[in-house]
Amino acid sequence: MKKFITNLLLFLSPIISSGILMEVLLRRIPNDYQYKCYYLDRNSNDISVLILGSSHAYYGINPQLMTYRSFNAAYVAQSLFYDWQIIKKYDRCWHSLKYIVLPVDYFSFYGRLENGIESWRVKNYNIYYGIRSCNYTDNSELLSNKLLSNVGRIKSTYINHESTVFCSEFGWGTEYTSQKRKDLKSTGEVAAKRHFLINRGYFNENVAVLESIIKYADKNHVKVILYTSPAYKTYVQNLNREQLGRTINMLYAISKKYNNVSYINLLNDNSFTQVDFYDADHLDDLGAKKLTHKMDSLLFTTEKLPAGKMMCLNKRNI
């Protein structure tokens, strides 16, 4: 038995040590999650507008262009559950918070980050935000990604010295520029297909999470601006009407139910044209500028409304 254990440990030691070394190197790579958490740790009490949500908000709203002090805490594939967890994490720190801006899109009520193809991102919330996950592999960078991807990250950071933080000082995603625009037709079809009915069973669960955010906001005298992100027609045309209709109807119902909620549906907003899109469901820097201005003016509109007079800001345009 002694010989067996010795030989086994001898054999495993290079594998285990290289694993530990990689884990250490990977954790030392700066990343957007780490940066956003770092920023919120220091500035959450000064923020007036908190932008949450998925990549649609991450690339779509540039806080630097807003009148109030804002921060974009949205990120790629961030679900309502993680939006809620981020709010809760800084509970008692939101001293200046006036608005929460949150996109609720075609897929928002139908998925969970943990169960989709982006589930590997859960470890980032666990490791960098400290939002605990029940899956123990989410405690490790190494175990949450493929070897090739991990090696690639190590190489680009430590050998090529490339930047690994892609958001601006205020959390806005800077990678999707108009110069790098993708084909709007094919990306529209693919994204619509990817976002179709991820799981109908999550609908009520996600609505409940959204309502928790709204109730929390109400308790703390914070207004919630819900919006459905603008998208290019190739994406909109390929959406399932039932799934979209159910989402939009629920958002109208929620905006009616809660006095601190406004909802605006920008899905078919004609002011966003081809040049505003990076791909069919994401805005580029030009589109982001447009949306940010729209949101900024919206905040002033809602601010003028007396308490209890929040509203749906446009007609249904499903």
Q: How far is the CB of 7 from another protein (least distance, A)?
A: 8
Toward another protein, which CB reaches closer, 147 or 307? 147
Toward another protein, which CB reaches closer, 116 or 246? 116
Q: How far is the CB of 238 from another protein (least distance, A)?
A: 17
Toward another protein, which CB reaches closer, 15 or 307? 15
Q: Contacts with another protein: how many residues (CB under 8 A)? A: 15
Toward another protein, which CB reaches closer, 37 or 192? 192
Footprint (CB under 8 A) of another protein, residues 1-60: 1, 3-4, 7-8, 11, 14-15
Draw the binding track, 129-168, toward another protein (x: CB under 8 A; -: no contact).
Answer: -------xx-----x--xxx--------------------
Toward another protein, which CB reaches closer, 1 or 159? 1
Toward another protein, which CB reaches closer, 146 or 219? 146
Footprint (CB under 8 A) of another protein, residues 230-289: none
Q: What is the 3-state secondary structure (H, E, C) of the chain?
A: CHHHHHHHHHHHHHHHHHHHHHHHHHHCCCCHHHHHHHHHHHHHHHCCEEECCCHHHHCCCCHHHCCCCEEECCCCCCCHHHHHHHHHHCCCCCCCCCEEEEECCCCCCCCCHHHCCCHHHHHHHHHHHCCCCCCHHHHCHHHHCCHHHHHHHHHHHHHCCCCCCCECCCCCECCCCHHHCCCHHHHHHHHHHHCCCCCHHHHHHHHHHHHHHHHHHHHCCCEEEEEECCCCHHHHCCCCHHHHHHHHHHHHHHHHHCCCEEEEECCCCCCCCHHHEEECCEECHHHHHHHHHHHHHHHHHHHHCCCCCCCECCCCCC
Q: How far is the CB of 22 from another protein (least distance, A)?
A: 10
- Is 119 a binding residue for another protein by CB under 8 A? The answer is yes
Q: How far is the CB of 14 from another protein (least distance, A)?
A: 8
Residues that bind another protein (CB under 8 A): 1, 3-4, 7-8, 11, 14-15, 119, 136-137, 143, 146-148
